[in-house]
């Protein structure tokens, strides 16, 4: 049964998300802005995580929970498993869309579908378009067939030794995975069905340009459909902190703050990766604050630790080994008496299958370099609250993105969130990221391997790490860190609502108008 009721409006939209709605911030934002634009809105999605409070209580939003597909035995052949899963998804989606059709509401004007996944959502949404005469708009987040190729590459990587898995994954993704029959069939499916959409929203300019190539829809000046680039913007949860102030006391070990989830994460409570003898643990055990002094002022110069944050799902498509390699290089470089670098705390937040392998690699590094913990502290917490994660990001000095794009055409949402907090991003580079998000030397830096990542860290911190004198924030001779922070803040200007109203809403209105005109001509 739907979770809320729908009130009568002049216009009605249906949003289809074959994923967990609460963890699809872009689609949640679509829903919010549709309602703000006077659309009664039905949402068909998985509801595995509690919905945001505003979506739960808004009478104009009707959520139809879609049953999740069954998990298949690991020994099951890949093609058979995929076929069974697709069939189960099709049945569940059909049931949910039937409830949408039978609801006592105004006629449907527009359907917005998230892609990927495209199977079976594109087919079902086209049938809904035909049955209701509504306009269909595809919101392209990436390509479904490249996501499938990433899964094929991941299977290949699992058969390799742990230390080589990330490299094997990238090589497979760039090579034979895209030539897999299943992947090629999925691409043909998207090309065949996607051309019937009335409009296309894209997360990047590069993705929109790719859709117009001969290999896809081959748009020309006369045949270009309605398209819009709707860039991801930081959600309201990720906001710029007061970077003119010291790191707040939430990161300290003061008694009143011992229950803070962030302080607990930094202490290493229930964290297998935490080393009880590293510099961060030593600060806490002695009653000192690793990032601020007891009076709330920063430690002077290199004595004050730097907070480096990244987020991961602990899957093979992110090379966390590269991060540890860079951390070890940084520690060895900092042992040079001439190196003016701060100690760093590297916080890797998230949960997933490869967390144990990461811990094993970390143990080996500590064994071959006993002084590693004097320079680098590593923590791997999972913050249950999304707000706590956002708070942690906002407190970071630097964020790191190890995202490997399956298509090379999307952008990492974690980097969007970091920039939204005014935090510079060190990112594993590729063309779309460099052209459309991270401007090297302005709001972040790019790297391609562990050596370059270590160089980025030393470049940012050497001679420019902040301290306070007379209550004022001061920097060293290098102004790179404050420059990158200012650039991150500039990038974060403009809200999702601004972006949506300027680009998405006009596209939706034009698609609806064109669809009505086309249906009228047929009648």
Task: Please give the pLDDT value at position 461.
Answer: 87
Edge-to-edge strand list for the sheet holding 135-140: 61-65, 39-46, 11-20, 110-115, 135-140, 199-202, 226-229
Closest of 281, 368, 284 to residue 331, by C-alpha: 368
Q: Which secondary structure element, helix H or strand E, spans residue 46, and what is its range? A: strand 39-46
Query: pLDDT tens digit string along 32-83?
Result: 999 999 999 999 999 888 888 888 889 899 999 888 776 656 666 666 777 7
Q: What is the rounded distance in angstroms from the CA atom of residue 129 to the CA atom of residue 123?
A: 10
Q: State in Å, rounded, how far the first CA of the chain is from the last one.
A: 35
Q: What angle do CA 138, 139, 140 make, to 5 degrees?
A: 105
Task: Please give the pLDDT value at position 254.
Answer: 39
Q: What is the rounded distance in angstroms from the CA atom of residue 236 to the CA atom of residue 504?
A: 19
- Crossing angle for the helix pair 181-194 and 144-158, to the nearest 10 degrees: 170
Tokens of 8: 């009568």
The stretches in the chain having pLDDT less than 50 are 1, 3-8, 242-256, 293-302, 468-473
User: What is the three-class DSSP state of 64?
Assistant: strand
Task: Please give the pLDDT value at position 341.
Answer: 86
Q: Residue 440 carries which DSSP code? A: B
Q: Residue 501 carries which DSSP code? A: I
Q: Residue 504 carries which DSSP code? A: I
Q: What is the rounded distance in angstroms from the CA atom of residue 518 to the CA atom of residue 411?
A: 35
Question: Can you list the domains of the chain with their CATH numbers?
Answer: 1-140 (3.40.50.2000), 249-491 (3.40.50.2000)
Task: Please give the pLDDT value at position 465.
Answer: 64
Rounded to 10 degrees, the C-alpha dihedral 276/277/280/285 comes to: 70
Task: Please give the pLDDT value at position 313.
Answer: 87
Q: What is the pTM of this model?
A: 0.84
Q: How far is CA 306 from CA 28, 395, 499, in A?
A: 34, 10, 33
Q: How far is CA 5 from CA 77, 94, 126, 238, 302, in A?
A: 42, 20, 25, 30, 57
Full 3-state SS string of 100-154: HHHCCCCCCCEEEEEECCCCCHHHHHHHHHHHHCCEEEEEECCCHHHHHHHHHHH
The region that residue 301 occupies, defined by phi over 0 for left and psi between -120 and 50 for alpha, beta otherwise, is left
Burial class (CB in 10 A: 0-12, 13-18, 19+), 287: exposed
DSSP string, 152-214: HHHHHHHTS-GGGHHHHHHHHHHTGGGG-HHHHHHHHHHHHHHTT-SEEEESSHHHHHHHTST
What is the chain's Cα-based Rg? Answer: 25
Q: What is the rounded distance in angstroms from the CA atom of residue 103 to the CA atom of residue 193?
A: 27
User: What is the three-class DSSP state of 413?
Assistant: helix
Task: Please give the pLDDT value at position 513.
Answer: 93
For residues 251 and 289, is the Cβ–Cβ distance under 8 A? yes
Q: What is the rounded distance in angstroms from the CA atom of residue 373 to the CA atom of residue 502?
A: 49
Neighbours of 347 (CB within 10 A): 26
For residues 243 and 485, is the Cβ–Cβ distance under 8 A? yes
Task: Please give the pLDDT value at position 243.
Answer: 44
């Amino acid at each position: 049964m739907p979770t809320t009721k729908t009130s009568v409006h002049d216009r009605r939209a249906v949003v289809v998300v074959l994923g967990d709605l609460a963890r699809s911030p872009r689609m949640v934002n679509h829903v919010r802005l549709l309602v703000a634009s006077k659309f009664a809105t039905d949402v068909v999605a998985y509801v595995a995580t509690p919905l945001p409070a505003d979506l739960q209580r808004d009478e104009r939003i009707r959520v139809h929970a879609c049953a999740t597909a069954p998990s298949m035995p690991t020994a099951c052949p890949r093609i058979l498993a995929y076929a069974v899963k697709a069939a189960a998804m099709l049945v569940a989606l059909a049931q949910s869309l039937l409830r949408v059709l039978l609801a006592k509401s105004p006629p449907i004007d527009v359907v917005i579908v998230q892609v990927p996944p495209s199977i079976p959502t594109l087919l079902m949404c086209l049938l809904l378009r035909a049955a209701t005469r509504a306009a269909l708009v595809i919101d392209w987040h990436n390509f479904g067939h490249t996501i499938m190729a990433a899964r094929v590459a991941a299977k290949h990587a699992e058969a390799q030794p742990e230390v080589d898995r990330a490299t094997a994954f990238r090589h497979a993704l760039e090579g034979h995975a895209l030539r897999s029959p299943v992947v090629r069939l999925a691409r043909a499916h998207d090309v065949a069905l996607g051309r019937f959409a009335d409009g296309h929203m894209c997360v990047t300019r590069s993705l929109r340009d790719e859709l117009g190539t001969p290999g896809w829809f081959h748009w020309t000046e006369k045949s270009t459909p309605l398209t819009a680039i709707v860039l991801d913007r930081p959600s309201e949860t990720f906001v710029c902190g007061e970077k003119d102030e010291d790191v707040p006391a939430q990161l300290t070990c003061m008694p009143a703050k011992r229950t803070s989830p962030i302080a607990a994460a930094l202490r290493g409570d229930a964290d297998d990766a935490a080393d009880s003898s590293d510099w961060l643990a030593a600060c806490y055990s002695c009653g000192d604050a690793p990032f601020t002094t007891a009076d709330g002022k920063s430690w002077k110069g290199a004595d004050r630790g730097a907070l480096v944050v990244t987020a991961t799902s602990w899957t093979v498509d992110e090379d966390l080994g590269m991060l540890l390699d860079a951390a070890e290089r940084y520690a060895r470089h900092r042992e040079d008496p001439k190196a003016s670098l701060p100690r760093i705390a590297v916080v890797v937040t998230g949960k997933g299958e490869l967390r144990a392998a990461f811990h094993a690699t970390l143990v080996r590094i500590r064994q071959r370099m006993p002084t590693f913990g004097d320079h680098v502290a590593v923590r791997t917490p999972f913050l249950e609250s999304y707000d706590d994660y956002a708070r942690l990001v906002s407190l970071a000095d630097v964020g790191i993105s190890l995202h490997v794009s399956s298509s090379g055409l999307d952008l990492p949402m974690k980097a969007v969130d970091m920039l939204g907090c005014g935090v510079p991003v060190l990112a594993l580079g590729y063309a779309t990221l460099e052209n459309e998000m991270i401007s090297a030397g302005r709001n972040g830096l790019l790297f391609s391997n562990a050596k370059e990542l270590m160089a980025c860290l030393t470049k940012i911190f050497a001679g420019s790490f902040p301290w306070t004198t007379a209550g004022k924030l001061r920097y060293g001779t290098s102004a790179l860190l404050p420059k990158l922070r200012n650039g991150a803040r500039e990038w974060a200007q403009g809200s999702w609502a601004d972006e949506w109203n300027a680009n998405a809403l006009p596209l939706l209105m034009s698609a609806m108008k064109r669809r009505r005109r086309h249906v009228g001509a047929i009648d």
